[in-house]
Structure 1
Amino acid sequence: MSVVIVDYNAGNVQSVTYALERLGVSPQLSADPEVIRSADRVIFPGVGEASTAMRFLKERKLDEVIRDLKQPVFGVCLGLQLMCAHSEENNTDCLGIFNVQVKKFEPTLKVPQMGWNNLEHTTGPLFKGIEADSYVYYVHSYYAETSPYTIATTDYVNTFSAALNKDNFYALQAHPEKSGKIGERILQNFLDIK
């Protein structure tokens, strides 16, 4: 199975690579549209700031490439937010795969949310074999609102989309590569999606 991690200058690709290697997969890091299109699975990770990341994607026309992918695609953290319609982070128009708004947490609790929190109301193949209320690791100041695409929620300040799904596009706000056995299982479940 060929797995490509989209290389768009947005952090954490090394830890995602190591997590996949622990599962016996050697991913390729690429910003080449043809390499991305030909992969069996595409992972769209990210740590960073929305407008800078979107500018990088648009300059290389990777925004169009990602939107048009037909194989399973997995957005992680900033990747999830960029797959939404719009982010309050620097008033950024995003990829629009999910018609969802990304909002900044109100600072009624410490922002960013940094640490372990549980997944609730999980549905779909991404969470196969994962017990309700399992904990995953978060680092984020922005969140995707709940919507018909929501396949898991988490509560922090308010309830938000912990995971999204539309057709072949899946996304997780938490970092599976930093979430121990649960994160490993989520990654394996993504790789196993038919």
Structure 2
Amino acid sequence: MIAIIDYGAGNMKSLQFALNRLHLDSRLTVDEKTIKESEAIILPGVGAFHDAMQSLRLAGLPEILQSEVKRGKPILGICLGMQLFYETSYEDGNWEGLQFLEGEVKRISDSVKVPHMGWNTLTKHQDAPLLNQVDETDYVYFVHSYKVVNHDKKTLLASTSYGGEIPAIVQHNNLIGMQFHPEKSGAAGLQLLKTFGEMIS
């Protein structure tokens, strides 16, 4: 079972629908016992970084997630959920993230239209099992105004280009982040979720 962290930051139903299509059992939850009994965790999210962190803290989730990270459980962060993995966000202030990965979250360059909303291809930076079935001609769907910067380059699996390089997929051991929405990215997104499911088993 995959625990989808349901902390009020996004439409969880479309994600759960995509997982159901792949025959991956999932549960929307903030219950500590359910999270600890899960085989993997997905942290989705849309909206403001600070509001999301406040919601996580009110539910006592940062400590639970930290414990599961240390146990080596696969954890996937999607869109804002990926950004929350990092140390600091400068979205309307200076806010502390979950501190799982080195890096900061800053606004996309004003040289392009913000928010970044639409379909982009991925540029692979290294070979990884997660990308085995993904082609650089595949398009995935982005909706965001902020991106990760000053990150550990060794964690970067794939990027896209929009006003500069945008980390699109990152991985460090059991932590995986996707800046785009795989559940809204057609066949390519479903393939990535399927591969994540295979990594669990």
Structure 1 range deviating more: 107-116 or 145-154: 145-154
Alignment of 1:75-114 (within 5 A): 75-90=77-92, 91-114=94-117
Shift, 1:33, TM fit: 1.4
The letter for the 2-side match of 1:114 is M
Shift, 1:132, TM fit: 2.2
Alignment partners' CA distance in 1, 2:128 and 2:116: 25
Structure 1 range deviating more: 145-154 or 69-78: 145-154
Number of aligned residues: 193
The normalised TM-score by structure 1 is 0.95
Partner of 1:150 in structure 2? 156
SS at match of 2:25: coil
The answer to whether 1:115 aligns with 2:118 is yes
Counterpart among 139, 142, 145 of residue 141 in structure 1: 145
**Contact 1:98–1:149 (Cα < 8 Å) also in 2:** no
Structure 1 range deviating more: 175-184 or 54-63: 54-63
Structure 1 range deviating more: 181-190 or 81-90: 81-90
Alignment of 1:158-177 (within 5 A): 158-177=164-183
CA deviations over 1:70-95 (Å, ceiling 9, x no partner): 21110000000001111111321100
Shift, 1:191, TM fit: 0.7
Unpaired runs of 5+ in structure 1?
Answer: none
The letter for the 1-side match of 2:61 is L
Partner of 2:45 in structure 1? 46
Structure 1 range deviating more: 32-41 or 179-188: 32-41
Alignment of 1:39-78 (within 5 A): 39-69=38-68, 70-78=72-80
SS at match of 2:9: coil
Shift, 1:134, TM fit: 2.0
Partner of 1:3 in structure 2? 2
SS at match of 2:124: coil
CA deviations over 1:130-151 (Å, ceiling 9, x no partner): 1124210000000012532111
Structure 1 range deviating more: 155-164 or 126-135: 126-135
Alignment partners' CA distance in 2, 1:6 and 1:37: 12
Alignment partners' CA distance in 2, 1:42 and 1:5: 6
CA deviations over 1:2-41 (Å, ceiling 9, x no partner): 1110011101201101110111123100001121111011
Alignment partners' CA distance in 2, 1:126 and 1:13: 22
CA, structure 1 residues 133+98, in 2 after alignment: closer, same or farther (shift >3 Å)?
farther
Alignment partners' CA distance in 2, 1:5 and 1:166: 20
Counterpart among 128, 132, 137 of residue 128 in structure 1: 132
Shift, 1:56, TM fit: 1.1
The letter for the 1-side match of 2:65 is I
**Contact 1:125–1:190 (Cα < 8 Å) also in 2:** no
The letter for the 2-side match of 1:11 is G
**Contact 2:24–2:197 (Cα < 8 Å) also in 1:** no
The letter for the 1-side match of 2:26 is P
The letter for the 2-side match of 1:138 is F
SS at match of 1:53: helix
The structure 1 segments of at least 4 consecutive aligned residues displaced by more than 6 Å after TM superposition are none
Alignment partners' CA distance in 1, 2:172 and 2:192: 17
